[in-house]
Amino acid sequence: SAVISQKPSRDICQRGTSLTIQCQVDSQVTMMFWYRQQPGQSLTLIATANQGSEATYESGFVIDKFPISRPNLTFSTLTVSNMSPEDSSIYLCSVGGQGAEKLFFGSGTQLSVL
Amino acid sequence: GENVEQHPSTLSVQEGDSAVIKCTYSDSASNYFPWYKQELGKGPQLIIDIRSNVGEKKDQRIAVTLNKTAKHFSLHITETQPEDSAVYFCAASTGNNDMRFGAGTRLTVKP
């Protein structure tokens, strides 16, 4: 299994600001994903972070709101832009094998927006 | 798309008893079914998984069963311990980057 380091672990932000979350993996991985987990809820896929190309977003998520970078096979960032209280969630970085099976998750970023 | 339903949403058992969590899925093409355990303040951790060509898989105190005909699968934890207390998620995938998670079950094991 991969070791996934995610930063920051938590943050409290003001409405209208942006936060960038970093995800570092200890080995090269093909598939990297970003998930959102709203309070007491399940995991919802935001997007697949593609190395060297634009991320692939799920329905309901757009690049302007959640820009993603993936400059290499071990690192990715997710930015939550122009935040509102509704963005308060846990954001999770995940890596997986072919077909996005056997997903491994970072410890998450607990975001609170005031 | 795939829809995964999970029951119960909360489960409380006495230490030493067994716990069973059940999930159903809608897409008959789904062929991979993992279970994750999430402790407070941590990310989900893969604890066991099963593929559609297998009916049951066991790893020490945990086991997963799959009924493809009925499109449901279950997690069984025997001899529960307080450290088993966590939120458990089931998931289903066809292997095409389409993993879908259940709503989660909060398991409490009372000492």
B chain contacts of residue A7, beta-carbon cutoff 8 Å: none
pLDDT at B87: 96
DSSP string, A7-68: E-SEEEE-TT--EEEEEEESS--SEEEEEEE-TT---EEEEEE-TTSPPEEPTT--TTTS-E
User: Chain A closest CA to B93's CA: distance in Å?
Assistant: 8
B1 touches chain A (CB under 8 A): no
**Spatial CB neighbours of A40, under 8 Å, sequence gap ≥ 6:** none
pLDDT at B60: 96
Tell me the residues of chain A between 82 and 111 that have a Cβ less than 8 Å away from chain B: 92, 94, 96, 98-108, 110
- Residue listed under structure tokens 């607990």: A110
- Candidates A23, A1, A12; CA nearest to A72 is A23
Max Cα separation, chain B? 42
Cα–Cα dist B73/B50, whole Å: 9
B chain contacts of residue A41, beta-carbon cutoff 8 Å: 103-104
Q: Assess whether pLDDT exceeds 80 at residue B1.
A: no
**Spatial CB neighbours of A8, under 8 Å, sequence gap ≥ 6:** A21, A109
Q: Which of A58-67, A97-106, B66-75, B78-87 has the lowest mean pLDDT?
A: A97-106
Q: Assess whether pLDDT exceeds 80 at residue B33.
A: yes
CB contact under 8 A, B103 and A42: yes
- Residue listed under structure tokens 């088993």: B84
User: Chain B closest CA to A39's CA: distance in Å?
Assistant: 12
A74: left (phi over 0), alpha (psi -120 to 50) or beta: alpha
Cα–Cα dist B17/B23, whole Å: 20
Cα–Cα dist B31/B29, whole Å: 6
Q: Assess whether pLDDT exceeds 80 at residue B8.
A: yes
The pLDDT of B38-59, averaged and rounded, is 93
- Candidates A44, A86, A52, A83; CA nearest to A68 is A52
Residue predicted with more confidence, A3 or B73: B73
Residue B95 pLDDT grade (very low, low, confident, very high; cuts 50, 70, 90):
confident
pLDDT at A99: 66
Phi, psi at A74, each rounded to 5°? -125, 0
Cα–Cα dist A12/A34, whole Å: 20
pLDDT at A100: 67
Residue B19 pLDDT grade (very low, low, confident, very high; cuts 50, 70, 90):
very high
Tell me the residues of chain B between 68 and 97 that have a Cβ less than 8 Å away from chain A: 89, 93-97
CB contact under 8 A, A100 and B46: no
Residue predicted with more confidence, B97 or A110: A110
What is the pLDDT tens value at each position of chain A, 114 positions in all? 788 999 999 999 999 999 999 999 999 988 899 999 998 889 999 999 988 888 999 999 999 999 999 999 999 999 999 999 999 999 999 998 766 678 899 999 999 999
User: Chain B closest CA to A99's CA: distance in Å?
Assistant: 4
The pLDDT of B5-15, averaged and rounded, is 97
- Candidates A17, A36, A97, A54; CA nearest to B43 is A36
pLDDT at A111: 97
B chain contacts of residue A6, beta-carbon cutoff 8 Å: 43
Q: Determine the residue among B25, B37, B46, B52 to mutate to test chain A binding: the one whose Cβ has the most chain A Cβ atoms within 10 Å.
A: B46
